[in-house]
A and B are shown apart, each in its own frame.
Chain A
């Protein structure tokens, strides 16, 4: 059913820390690894070892250079997957009801046996979170590893999305963002978590923690103020050499 629920009991989602992400792409690999052999159609690759490889991924890591008004540029790695929006435009455009948002936990999923592969949901998503699988002709997207987080066959520490479980720098956090007492909600409150493209009105559940302010360069040597100033005008032989060379 492509009508969005008016309310979801939980808002399961990710909190991604742009300060600690090192851009290793481990989350991309673990996501592809888990999701190509579990829920739904595999994530196919086309020409994987050839000259022009392409493939379906549910999670991708961009890297941006941000130039402040003063000081050096910052390099920020930016993982991006489905944000499981409260007002998900991808769901309402779906003509077949294949796309839906779950009432119990707010996860946005695709029922692949109903998907006709028209691609309109991917057009409606501002974040590029949906990719059509070129082999199966159905829309693929992040499931928040719905087949891990409730999976009682897995040890308890593995019952979180593959990307979160694998992240070596703890840049990814999973939890219920509707519960203001959850760890993720506290993290968002503490670090000033933000929405991507808020002007699109999608009300994303996933939040991004902005990079912490960087150190500045002016205090780099704490002994510097105690040292004698270096002579600015050369004297002696160097002074003579300097004047002579100036005259040439």
Chain B
């Protein structure tokens, strides 16, 4: 799949933002007044910035509001609703905390649950697609949620939780890569099932339908950039998990924590880039490419 920068930024930034909102809603840290203002501003900038960036890949963004209509079947539509609900509940909770030094706990709990639900809906946009076997698995939402909560803990300064969650997401990330590498073969979709010609013999692509490229190849048969995927996996794990955990284990300082956050962000961006670049869509089989 084509790793579009707008979608990578959207999923990573909004994931971090909603992750931070999750912790704030639960009262970790139990901030009020100016520090609450600072925390909520960061969370909202990340969450809304991500959502705005997601509209950059639309062909007709002026009609984006129509995406709220099909929540009964579409995860993209559900994500739109859940993000609005989450931001509304957390907004009311934030107003209490910032301006009235009162944390209305039930509002925060609902907001936290909605923040997680939003991340889940985002992940299901990808996890629902049977056409991309690497994504079509419960580990896809699991990793999105765990990374969101880990990054949120890091931003919320929850050092103990962050260390444990980051380590856990490192393990899950490794499992996701290991299982994902085998899933296309496991699902059994081949050039033979794609063309229905398998009972005659082995099928190879003789001539493509067009001499140049097309939308399908550009969007779904993105094979460039996989060459360094092994190295990128190591870099991603190092930046996303190993370095932040080491920095958190050192005596706390704001500078080190900031480096940990930036390192984690870079690592998650690399991981998300691989999430798209390594994903193989079954339509490639019609072209004899994965």
Chain A contacts to B: CB under 8 angstroms = 1-3, 18, 25, 28, 52-57, 60-69, 73-76, 78, 80, 89, 91-98, 114-120, 122-128, 131-134, 136-139, 194-201, 208, 210-211
Contact = CB atoms under 8 A, between A and B. Distances in A.
Given A123-B1, A199-B188, 17 more contacts: A2-B70, A2-B73, A56-B215, A57-B210, A62-B286, A63-B205, A63-B207, A93-B75, A93-B128, A94-B70, A97-B70, A115-B63, A116-B63, A120-B76, A123-B131, A128-B286, A199-B193
A64 B197 contact: yes
B64 A116 contact: yes
A128 B221 CA distance: 11
A137 B66 contact: no
Shortest Cβ-Cβ A-B pairs, 7 listed: A117-B59, A137-B59, A60-B209, A68-B201, A95-B76, A95-B67, A96-B66
A91 to B, nearest CB: 8
B69 interface: yes
Nearest to A70: B201
A108 B216 CA distance: 19
B63 A96 contact: yes
A57 B280 CA distance: 22
Given A2-B74, A93-B75, A65 B204 contact: yes
Contacts of B197: 18, 64, 66, 76, 210-211
A32 B122 CA distance: 36
18 contacts: A2-B72, A3-B72, A52-B212, A54-B215, A55-B214, A57-B210, A60-B209, A64-B205, A65-B205, A68-B200, A69-B201, A96-B69, A116-B63, A118-B76, A119-B57, A126-B194, A137-B60, A138-B59
Contact of A62 (B132, B209, B212): B209
B61 interface: yes
B202 interface: yes
A202 to B, nearest CB: 9
The bracket for how many chain B residues form the interface is: 35 or more
A18 B77 CA distance: 40
B80 interface: yes
Given A122-B220, A127-B283, A116 B204 contact: no
B199 interface: yes
Contacts of A211: 197, 200
Contacts of B219: 119, 122-123, 132
Contacts of A98: 66
From A52, A55, A93, name the one whose CB has the most chain B CB atoms within 10 angstroms. Answer: A93
B189 interface: yes
B282 interface: yes
Contacts of B80: 95
A74 B200 CA distance: 9
Contacts of B209: 25, 28, 57, 60-62, 80
A216 to B, nearest CB: 14
B74 A92 contact: yes
A109 to B, nearest CB: 15
Given A65-B206, A116-B60, A131-B215, A200 B286 contact: no
Contacts of A25: 209
A96 B67 contact: yes
A175 B93 CA distance: 59
Nearest to B191: A64
